[in-house]
Amino acid sequence: MTTQTMDSLRSKVNGPVIGPADPAFEDVRKVYNFMIDRRPAAIVRCQTADDVVAVVRHATDAGAELAVRGGAHSVPGFGTADGAIVIDLAQLSAVSVNPTNRTATVGGGATWGGFNDAAAAHGLATTGGIVSTTGVGGLTLGGGIGYLARGYGLSCDNLLSAQVVTAAGEILTVSAEENADLFWAIRGGGGNFGIVTEFTFRMHPVAQIYGGPMFFELADGPAVLAHFDEFIRTAPREYGGFPGFHLAPPLPFVPEDRVGDPLVAVVSCWTGSMADGEKIVASLREVARPVAEHVGPMPYAALNSAFDALVPRGLQHYWKAAYIRDLPAEAIDIHLRHGALVPNVSCAVHLYPVNGACHDVGAAETAFGHRDATYAAVIAGMWPDAVENDANIRWVKDYYAAITPHTLAGGYVNFASADDQSKVAENYGSNFARLREVKRRYDPSNVFHHNQNIEP
User: How far is residue 158's CA from residue 148's CA, in Å, rounded to a whole number?
Assistant: 11
Give me the least distance between CB of 289 and ligand FAD, in Å please. Answer: 28
Of 288 and 324, CB closest to ligand FAD: 324
User: How far is residue 167's CA from residue 294's CA, in Å, rounded to a whole number?
Assistant: 47
The residues binding ligand FAD (CB under 6 A) are 32, 68-75, 78-79, 89, 108, 129-131, 134-135, 137-139, 141-142, 144-146, 191, 195-196, 311, 414, 450-451
Give me the least distance between CB of 295 and ligand FAD, in Å please. Answer: 19
Of 134 and 268, CB closest to ligand FAD: 134
Helix axes 389-403, 329-339, angle to 10 degrees: 180
Question: b or e along 402-437 (b: 16 or more beta carbons within 10 Å of the residue's beta carbon)?
Answer: ebeebbbebbbbbbbbbebeebbebbbbebbebbbe
Give me the least distance between CB of 372 and ligand FAD, in Å please. Answer: 18
Q: Contact, 435 vs 192, CB < 8 A?
A: yes
From 28, 264, 50, select the one nearest 163 (Cα to Cα).
50
Of 56 and 196, CB closest to ligand FAD: 196
Bridge partners, 91 (sequence order): none
Type of residue found at 347: C
Q: HSE on the CB side for 371, CA within 13 Å?
A: 21
Give me the least distance between CB of 370 and ligand FAD, in Å please. Answer: 13
Give me the least distance between CB of 451 and ligand FAD, in Å please. Answer: 4
Of 66 and 248, CB closest to ligand FAD: 66
Give the SS3 label for residue 207: coil
Of 58 and 450, CB closest to ligand FAD: 450
How many Cβ atoms from other residues are within 10 Å of residue 177's Cβ? Answer: 9
Q: Contact, 264 vs 225, CB < 8 A?
A: yes
| Beta strands per DSSP E along 219-313 | 242-247, 262-270, 292-293, 296-299
Of 196 and 291, CB closest to ligand FAD: 196
Give me the least distance between CB of 137 and ligand FAD, in Å please. Answer: 3
What's phi and psi for 195, nearest 5 deg? -110, 120
Of 15 and 108, CB closest to ligand FAD: 108
Give the SS3 label for residue 307: coil
| Alpha carbon 96 to chain centroid, angstroms | 22
Give me the least distance between CB of 4 and ligand FAD, in Å please. Answer: 27
Of 262 and 381, CB closest to ligand FAD: 381
Give me the least distance between CB of 106 and ligand FAD, in Å please. Answer: 10
Measured in Å, how far apart are the chain's first and last C-alpha atoms? 28
Give me the least distance between CB of 33 and ligand FAD, in Å please. Answer: 7
Of 15 and 144, CB closest to ligand FAD: 144
Give me the least distance between CB of 3 and ligand FAD, in Å please. Answer: 27
Of 167 and 292, CB closest to ligand FAD: 167
Q: In what order do the strands lie in the sheet with 85-88?
A: 17-18, 42-45, 85-88, 66-69
Give me the least distance between CB of 148 and ligand FAD, in Å please. Answer: 11
Q: Which helix (DSSP H) or strand (DSSP E) does residue 166 occupy? A: none
Q: Contact, 70 vs 32, CB < 8 A?
A: no
Of 103 and 452, CB closest to ligand FAD: 452
Q: Compute and round to an integer the Cα radius of gyration of the chain.
A: 21
| Alpha carbon 325 to chain centroid, angstroms | 20
How many Cβ atoms from other residues are within 10 Å of residue 240's Cβ? Answer: 31
